[in-house]
Amino acid sequence: MDGFVSIWDIETRALLRWFGGHVKAVTSVSWSPHGRYLASASLDWNVNVWDLANGSGRRARTLRFDCPLASVSFSPTSSRQLLVTTATKQAYLVTFPTTGSAEPVVTLLPADDVSAACFSRDGSCIVAGTTRGALAVFNTDGASINQPMPVGPAAIRQLAFDRTGRHLVVNMNDRTIRTLTASGSPPSFAARHKFQDLVGRTPWDGVSFSSDSEYVLGGAAHSTAHKMYVWDRDSGVLVKILEGPREPLATACWHPARRVIASACTSGDIYLWKTPSTEIWSAYAPGFEELEENVEYEEREDEFDLADIDARRAADTSEAPVDIFSTGPGQRAVVSAANRARLPSSLSPGAERLDEDDTDTAFFIPPILDDAIES
């Protein structure tokens, strides 16, 4: 609520970056496709784009709007496009030019009362939800593609695609979460399941799919509880209810590649949830046996006798497998940069690629060692 943006390492729990570019509460953040840029939207009417490629990072751009902002999101295929929704129920598509000195092109989507919007997984179109409970599809030029499709009787609060782009989850003001299947290009939608709390009539804050698209997550908007519900996407059955501290939940999100859930409280704390992993020791020691209870171990007669090191080394050498095919020392396998897995790009083959484009799959945010030493 103080207008700061912080980046944390989920493995080491270390604070990597800390930006103070807003004067009011931050309402939304979004990563560029490969993580070089971070966009933040705030109630101070500004969108800041942070470039993390150099040192501690810098503010690359600031976009000024004429009202408080509700959300911001990068295109999943390009760092040159942003989708912004405002508190006044409008949606804007921001396109950055190929030259750094030119001004970005801001296009207002021709739809009334847009309460939520998101890119499709391939970045080719935009799906917008309205306060009338309908979905509208636009191309990346801002033109409408089809007529709005009714989904429910209430306003749409949040939209999210799964990793495949074939499923869409919709959070609505009638306290229900709906899943739809998407097919074709531009996508058309068909209703699949509807999730709701029939007993407590719980409203929802934060919906998403699991990394494998098999489960749907919904954060419960309780005033005195911190709960998240997990449903099976295919059958619609409630699988698990996760209960945390007695703090109101602000939002929740599933990790895009891991079995990890992040939930944020209204106090500003963030909690990470993960599935307990079972240790399989037999994978490291084939002779390992798991015991139900303690037993007295009976050692062999010569188990702890001192052995001749030279004799043991000679025995190990004689038992080692012999490679009769190789004719020289082993060579390391080399993976060329062309074979790296890359996300699809919205740039045409002949388009000019600039240094500020987020196209490096190997980009990562290094920790600032000077700050760590001083602290």
Cβ-in-10-Å burial (0-12, 13-18, 19+) of 193 comes to middle
Residue 25 in contact with residue 15, Cβ under 8 Å?
Answer: no
What pLDDT score was predicted for residue 325?
57
pLDDT reading at 255 higher than 50: yes
What pLDDT score was predicted for residue 76?
93
Q: Which amino acid is at 307?
A: A
Q: Would you give the DSSP letter of residue 161?
A: E
pLDDT reading at 372 higher than 50: no
What pLDDT score was predicted for residue 92?
95
What pLDDT score was predicted for residue 142?
75
- pTM (2 d.p.): 0.76
279: which 2 tokens?
Answer: 């240790």
What pLDDT score was predicted for residue 114?
95
Segment 112-136, tens digit of pLDDT:
899 999 999 999 999 999 999 999 9
Q: Reading across the β-sheet that carries 37-42, which strands appear in turn?
A: 26-31, 37-42, 46-51, 58-64
- Using pLDDT thresholds of 50, 70 and 90, give the confidence band for residue 10: confident
What pLDDT score was predicted for residue 366?
66
36: which 2 tokens?
Answer: 């070089």
> Whats the size of the chain, residue-wise?
375
What pLDDT score was predicted for residue 5?
93
| Average pLDDT over the chain, rounded to an integer | 83
Tally of CB atoms within 10 A around 306:
5
What pLDDT score was predicted for residue 103?
86
Q: Cis before residue 186, ω within 30 degrees of 0?
A: yes
212: which 2 tokens?
Answer: 């494998």
Residue 62 in contact with residue 54, Cβ under 8 Å?
Answer: no
Residue 39 in contact with residue 74, Cβ under 8 Å?
Answer: yes
- Using pLDDT thresholds of 50, 70 and 90, give the confidence band for residue 93: very high
> What average pLDDT does this structure show over 314-335?
59
Segment 218-233, tens digit of pLDDT:
999 888 889 999 999 9
Delineate the domains of the chain, giving CATH numbers in brackets.
Answer: 1-108 (2.130.10.10), 114-288 (2.130.10.10)
Q: CA-CA distances (angstroms) from residue 304 to 101, 108, 300, 307, 372?
A: 75, 79, 8, 9, 47
**H or E element, residue 317:** helix 309-319
Greatest alpha-carbon pair distance for the chain in Å reads 85
**Bigger pLDDT: 145 or 356?**
145
Q: Comparing 78-82, 148-152, 186-190, 280-284, which segment has the lowest mean pLDDT?
A: 280-284
d(CA 123, CA 139): 9
197: which 2 tokens?
Answer: 């709390």
Q: Comparing 31-35, 222-226, 258-262, 316-320, which segment has the lowest mean pLDDT?
A: 316-320
What pLDDT score was predicted for residue 323?
64
Segment 26-40, tens digit of pLDDT:
999 999 998 899 999
pLDDT reading at 8 higher than 50: yes
Segment 160-179, tens digit of pLDDT:
999 999 999 999 999 999 99
- Using pLDDT thresholds of 50, 70 and 90, give the confidence band for residue 155: very high
d(CA 123, CA 106): 17
222's CB contacts (< 8 A; 6+ apart) are: 202, 248, 249
pLDDT reading at 2 higher than 90: no
pLDDT reading at 97 higher than 80: yes
Residue 71 in contact with residue 86, Cβ under 8 Å?
Answer: no
d(CA 244, CA 365): 30
